[in-house]
Amino acid sequence: MVRREFARRKLQMIGDDRACAAGTNFTIAERALNGVAVTVTCSSTAHGAPAVYYLTSKATIGGLGSPAYAERRMEATVSNIP
């Protein structure tokens, strides 16, 4: 839920320029999610005035190949087409 809401807020901040901002990387430092690295990316396709936005978020914790490694990826497609 944290990643999805972050991505939606990031998209709302884009405004009317119809372009996605550069990707965002951050690490969560709160309680049970401490150490989770998050990457959020955005791409868009213009269809005249409206646009379609493709949001991807990936969260990882632990080292790749380690038994403690975990990864979760979520994708969303959002449009301002009426």
Q: In this predicted model, what pLDDT tens digit does every residue of 27-63 receive, in sequence order?
A: 988 888 899 999 988 888 877 777 788 889 999 999 9
Provide the residue range defining the domain that includes 59.
2-79
- What CA dihedral angle connects 22, 4, 6 and 49, to 10 degrees? 60
Output 10 or 77, whichever has higher pLDDT: 77
Assign 81 a pLDDT band (cuts: 50, 70, 90): confident
Q: How many domains in the chain?
A: 1
Question: What percent of the chain is modeled with pLDDT above 70?
Answer: 72
pTM of the model: 0.67
Helix ranges restricted to H, 1-82: 2-14
Alpha-carbon gap, residue 26 to 23, rounded angstroms? 10
Alpha-carbon gap, residue 53 to 80, rounded angstroms? 9
